[in-house]
């Protein structure tokens, strides 16, 4: 016997003991509902009955019937008086705080309903019979022994024997289709459970298979299953003889299904003077159809997906028309109708989720030309500006108010393909696109002014469409950094007597290459998720060629490009995300694991500040503000010869439980763990507690917290409050919660953290 309980897990002892004040005498609050499957076959797919429950008990949020309690918080007479006052003032009586608490956020108590319970039992019996338990029958037990007008409902199903598929035959007489071509790969086999849903899936599989082999007019209605359960019941055997019947196109006289070829392929594009039609080479690369080929439904679907990836395309229609040519060959003509978005567009966005600042808005405005030359290309100009609160490296102020500003301009041009390769040399399935970008950015921070100029060329392509795998390669990204350090910060750096720290804040150039691979999955698995792997390296080849190229050197022996040393490092990031599907009236679990590490080269002596890993922040460990955590177990950064919150490697694990309170609000409970660390450098000025070896698990930070998300549909506003459970930035003996005063951080962000 297997029991399924649909009551939610009570995190608080009082969560399940609340009985509504206004529950009439003789009615019972549905405390929980359980399904007991008796005699379930261990080799069959487990039955799931939650979807057919007709009594949806009151929701629990973190174990508490929050919606019911809010509903009960307003007495009926007070609600009635409030509605009367609103009506007297000429307002809608169905409005106001009390109405929202009772009818919108609140939920009325769900009491036992015998009629709904009986319908649930009938649904469960039908569900079991569809799965092959043809003799399933059930009963209901109502347990009210707990008192306090609470009832536990048990639906007990005696499944009986599992009926299986017996002898099979495939009947295609008159249909013009070979049975062997359908039998290969079929999941319907003798000995399998006689599952109605599996038979329906087989019907669709056959239709899709034949439509991909030229049978354009074939659909699932031509497939029938003939089974005789009465004839074998008396024999005591529980196997069902099954015939899979594929009917001909016409019954009388029988006419076989015909394989059809593609006829004319016509493309209809807008003639609007403001829009540019896609050029013929682009269409030839994207359209997976050719006259004379066998009709293939999958090829039409693939063509649709590839065309929709073009930035200029907003909508596609692909009507088909059957005909017979002069030789008697049946053909299918396809018309591809393309609708374009407005060619020019203006977009603004607001960002609160930057990793290198504590908080502050960044506003961007982008102007876009979605089809510059008719090649499916896009040109985008972006201007951005923002203010933020940043912790100074010198720790001379608390940075609780905005103290930093920045502005930037950027141009991006993307195109179909990977120049200089022609489109005809690329696979259509790769959906390759290239991008060239140029960007200038100026930042004003308490410690320095920084100007950066960057130019890059890269491309991306689909590695495996079925696995949703994508490669993104930045072939060359050259960045030039001009840093103007404030006098006070320069004095602080000099006072540290640490050449390693100084090397992080100097002018430099970075000739960088980056390769990133990511994939995701969300079908036919219990947990949806994705994986991202990123490698980037800078200056490796240039350092080896520097003597040959005759590059100049500075006093420290570093080779120079454009008068500044170039960065030399290798950086790796690995991220894995997992999550459950959101339940209509339940929660969703999400988890992320992140690991990143950098290896330093000889030329610069340290990892550049903007390529370092940051501790804490709105998308990291939310019990700390950005750059308030780490590295390692450092308590006093000045004495340790490091900068608070910066590391050469980072490890982090996050788990979050999200539950939707209303259509607009989501409550989240989260737990984060991790830190950033320095790699051992053999430098006596660097404290060992900044590295993993200096304290190991004592340097791992833990926090928990609550978050509230406001879902506007087109974006999500997030408020997260984190409480530190273990704080490596405090002295030993004061790191765990309870050993010292409670600490934490509050964050504002846009979008979920992962």
* pLDDT tens-place string over residues 283-338: 999 998 999 999 999 999 999 999 999 999 999 999 999 999 988 899 999 999 99
Confidence band, pLDDT 50/70/90 cuts, at residue 233: low
CA 398, CA 390: separation in Å to the nearest integer? 9
pLDDT confidence of residue 524: 61
Q: How far apart are CA 615 and CA 650, in angstroms?
A: 8
Kindly write down the DSSP assignment for every residue of 357-378, as one continuous string.
SSB--EEEEEEEES-SSSSS-E
Instruction: State residue 4's pLDDT score.
Output: 53
Q: Do the Cβ atoms of 186 and 202 come closer than 8 Å?
A: yes
DSSP lists the bridge partners of residue 347 as 366
Which pLDDT tens digit goes with each residue over 245-272? Answer: 999 999 888 899 999 999 999 999 877 6
- Residue 75: its H or E element: none
CA-to-CA distance for 665 and 446, rounded, in angstroms?
A: 37
- For residue 13, pLDDT over 60 is answered with no
The reply to whether 6 and 154 lie within a common domain is yes
Of 534, 663, 670, 685, the C-alpha closest to 606 is 685
Element (H, E) at 633: none
Look at residue 623 and tell me if it is in a domain: yes
- Residue 693: both structure tokens together: 């070896």
In a domain? residue 390: yes
The CATH number covering residue 702 comes to 2.40.160.50
Question: Which one of 46-55, 126-135, 576-585 scores highest in mean pLDDT?
Answer: 126-135
If one counts every other C-beta atom within 10 angstroms of the C-beta of residue 343, the result is 15
* Whether residue 334 sits in one domain with residue 361: no
- Chain segment 50-82, per-residue pLDDT in tens: 888 888 888 877 778 888 888 888 888 888 888
**What is the longest distance spanned by two Cα atoms in the chain?**
99
Distance of alpha carbon 58 from alpha carbon 110, whole angstroms: 6
Give the C-alpha separation, 643 to 578, whole Å.
33
| Residue 451 · residue 440 · CB < 8 Å | yes
The residue from 340, 368, 390 where one domain ends is 340
What number of helices (H) and strands (E) belong to the chain? Answer: 13, 31
Task: Tell whether 150 and 238 lie within a shared domain.
Answer: no
Q: What's the pLDDT tens digit per position in 464-490?
A: 877 789 999 999 999 999 988 887 777
> β-pairing, 239-246 with 164-171?
parallel
More confident residue, 533 or 96: 533
- Which residue in 283, 235, 259 sits closest to 181, CA to CA? 259
Q: Are residues 387 and 442 in the same domain?
A: yes
In a domain, 523, yes or no: no
pLDDT at 503 over 80: no
Domain boundary among 473, 496, 519: 496
Element (H, E) at 342: none
Cis bond leading into 170, ω under 30°? no
Counted domains in the chain: 5
The answer to whether the beta carbons of residues 37 and 157 sit under 8 Å apart is yes
Which residues are CB-contacts of 495 (< 8 A; sequence separation ≥ 6)? none
pLDDT tens, residue by residue, 159-216? 999 999 999 999 999 999 999 989 988 999 999 999 999 999 999 999 999 999 999 9
Strand partners, 577: 530, 592
pLDDT score of 22: 60
Strand order across the 239-246 sheet: 164-171, 239-246, 223-227
The answer to the question of residue 546 being in a domain is: no
Cα 610 vs. chain centroid, distance in angstroms? 26
Token code pair at residue 704: 């928990």
**Range among 70-84, 115-129, 517-531 rated most confident:** 115-129
What pLDDT digit, counting tens, does each position of 24-42 carry? 777 888 888 899 999 999 8
For residue 183, the domain's CATH number is: 3.10.20.310
pLDDT of residue 7 exceeding 50, the answer is: no
pLDDT given at position 400: 58
Q: How confident is the model at residue 446 (pLDDT cuts 50, 70, 90)?
A: confident
CA 209 to each of CA 145, 185, 220, 287, 713: distance values in angstroms, whole numbers, following the listed order: 57, 11, 11, 21, 38
Measured CA to CA, the distance from residue 596 to residue 96 in angstroms comes to 50
Q: What burial class does residue 422 get, using C-beta atoms within 10 Å of its C-beta: 0-12 exposed, 13-18 middle, 19+ buried?
A: exposed
pLDDT higher than threshold 60 for residue 128: yes
Where on the phi/psi map is residue 176: left (φ > 0), alpha (ψ -120 to 50), or beta?
A: left
Q: How far apart are CA 320 and CA 702, in angstroms?
A: 59
497 or 710, higher pLDDT: 710
Q: Is there a contact between 672 and 651 (Cβ–Cβ < 8 Å)?
A: no
Pick left, alpha or beta for residue 149 (phi over 0 → left; psi -120 to 50 → alpha; otherwise beta).
Answer: left
Higher pLDDT, 672 or 270: 672
pTM (2 d.p.): 0.79
Average pLDDT for residues 378-384, to the nearest whole number? 96
- Total number of residues shown for the chain: 754
Check the CA dihedral 421-424-426-432 and report its sign. Answer: positive
Looking at residue 21, its pLDDT comes to 61
**Domain presence at residue 602:** no
How high is the mean pLDDT of the chain?
87
Residues 154 and 194 in one domain: no
Q: What is the reported pLDDT for 711?
A: 87
Say whether both 321 and 360 belong to one domain.
Answer: no
Indicate if 633 and 714 belong to the same structural domain: yes
Tokens of 369: 């030309």
Name the one residue in this structure whose structure tokens are 């043809």.
Answer: 134
| Domain-embedded: residue 272 | yes
Q: Dihedral (C-alpha) 596, 600, 604, 605: value to the nearest 10 degrees?
A: 110
Report if residue 536 sits inside a domain. no
Q: Are residues 106 and 19 both part of a single domain?
A: yes
Query: Is there a domain that residue 150 lies in?
Result: yes
- Predicted pLDDT at 253: 86
Are 110 and 169 in a shared domain?
no
Q: Report the candidate in 337, 217, 208, 330 with the shortest Cα–Cα distance to residue 265.
A: 337
Q: Do both 209 and 348 map to the same domain?
A: no
| Residue whose token pair is 């036919």 | 524
Peptide bond into 398 cis (omega under 30): no
On the question of pLDDT at 10 being above 50, the answer is no
Three-state secondary structure of 209-221: HHHCCCCCCCCHH
State which residues form the domain around 420.
Answer: 343-496
8-state DSSP, 428: G
* Residue 184 and residue 79 in one domain: no
Domain end, chosen from 496, 523, 556, is at 496
Same-domain status, 687 and 623:
yes
* Poorest-pLDDT segment among 251-255, 367-371, 619-623, 723-727: 251-255
């Amino acid at each position: 016997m297997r029991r399924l309980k649909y009551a939610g897990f009570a995190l608080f002892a009082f969560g399940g003991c609340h009985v509504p004040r206004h529950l009439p005498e003789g009615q019972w609050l549905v405390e929980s509902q359980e399904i007991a499957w008796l005699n379930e076959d261990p080799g069959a797919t487990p039955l799931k009955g939650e979807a057919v429950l007709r009594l949806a008990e009151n929701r629990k949020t973190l174990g508490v019937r929050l919606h019911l309690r809010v509903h009960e918080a307003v007495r009926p007479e007070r609600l009635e008086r409030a509605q009367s006052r609103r009506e007297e003032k000429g307002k809608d009586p169905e409005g106001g705080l009390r109405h929202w608490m009772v009818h919108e956020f609140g939920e009325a108590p769900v009491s036992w309903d015998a009629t709904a319970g009986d319908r649930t039992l009938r649904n469960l019996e039908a569900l079991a019979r569809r799965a092959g338990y043809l003799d399933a029958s059930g009963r209901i037990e109502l347990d009210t022994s707990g008192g306090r007008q609470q009832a536990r409902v048990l639906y007990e199903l005696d499944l009986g024997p599992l009926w299986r598929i017996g002898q099979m035959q495939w009947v295609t007489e008159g249909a013009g289709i070979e049975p062997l071509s359908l039998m290969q790969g079929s999941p319907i086999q003798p000995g399998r459970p006689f599952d109605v849903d599996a038979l329906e899936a087989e019907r669709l599989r056959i239709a899709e298979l034949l439509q991909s082999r030229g049978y354009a007019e074939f659909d699932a209605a031509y497939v029938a299953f003939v089974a005789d359960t009465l004839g074998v019941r008396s024999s005591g055997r529980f196997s069902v003889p099954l015939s899979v019947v594929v009917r001909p196109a016409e019954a009388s006289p029988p006419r076989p299904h015909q394989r059809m070829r593609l006829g004319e392929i016509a493309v209809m594009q807008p003639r609007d003077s403001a829009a540019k039609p896609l050029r013929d080479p682009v269409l030839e690369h994207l359209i997976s159809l050719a006259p004379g080929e066998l009709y293939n439904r999958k090829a039409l679907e693939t063509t649709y997906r590839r065309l929709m990836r073009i930035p200029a395309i907003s909508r596609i229609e692909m009507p088909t028309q059957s005909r017979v040519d002069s030789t008697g060959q049946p053909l299918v003509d396809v018309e591809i109708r393309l609708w374009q978005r407005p060619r020019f567009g203006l977009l603004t966005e607001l960002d609160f989720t930057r990793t290198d600042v504590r908080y502050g808005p960044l506003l961007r405005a982008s102007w876009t030309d979605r089809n510059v030359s008719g090649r499916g290309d896009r040109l985008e100009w972006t201007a951005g500006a923002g203010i933020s609160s940043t912790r100074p490296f010198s720790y001379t102020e608390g940075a609780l108010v905005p103290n930093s500003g920045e502005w930037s301009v950027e141009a991006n041009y993307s195109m179909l393909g990977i120049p200089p390769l022609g489109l005809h040399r690329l696979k259509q399935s790769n959906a390759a696109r290239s991008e060239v970008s140029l960007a200038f950015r100026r930042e004003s921070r308490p410690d320095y002014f920084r100007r950066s100029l960057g130019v890059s060329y890269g491309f991306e392509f689909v590695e495996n469409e079925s696995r949703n795998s994508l490669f993104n390669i930045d072939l060359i990204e050259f960045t030039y950094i001009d840093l103007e350090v404030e006098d006070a910060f320069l004095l602080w750096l000099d006072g540290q007597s640490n050449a390693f720290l100084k090397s992080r804040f100097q002018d430099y150039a970075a000739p960088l290459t980056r390769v990133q691979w990511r994939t995701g999955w969300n079908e036919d698995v219990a947990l949806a998720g994705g994986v991202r792997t990123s490698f980037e390296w800078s200056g490796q080849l240039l350092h080896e060629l520097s003597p040959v190229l005759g590059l100049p050197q500075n006093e420290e022996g570093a080779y120079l490009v454009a008068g500044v040393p170039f960065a030399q490092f290798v950086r790796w990031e690995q991220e894995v995300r997992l999550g459950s599907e959101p339940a209509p009236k339940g929660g969703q679990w999400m988890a992320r694991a992140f690991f990143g590490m950098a290896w330093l080269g000889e030329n610069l002596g340290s990892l550049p500040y903007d390529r370092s890993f940051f501790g804490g922040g709105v998308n990291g460990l939310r019990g700390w503000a950005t750059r308030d955590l780490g590295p390692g177990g450092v308590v006093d950064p000045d004495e340790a010869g490091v900068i608070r919150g910066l590391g050469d490697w980072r490890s982090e694990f996050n788990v979050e439980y999200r539950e939707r309170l209303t259509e607009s609000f989501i409550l989240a409970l989260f737990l984060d763990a991790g830190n950033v660390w320095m790699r051992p450098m053999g430098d006596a000025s660097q404290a060992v507690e900044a590295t993993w070896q200096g304290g190991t698990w004592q340097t791992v930070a833990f926090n928990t917290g609550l978050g509230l998300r406001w879902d506007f549909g087109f974006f999500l506003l997030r408020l997260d409050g984190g409480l530190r459970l273990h704080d490596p930035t405090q002295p030993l003996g004061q790191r765990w919660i309870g050993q010292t005063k409670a600490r934490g951080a509050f964050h504002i962000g846009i979008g979920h953290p992962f």
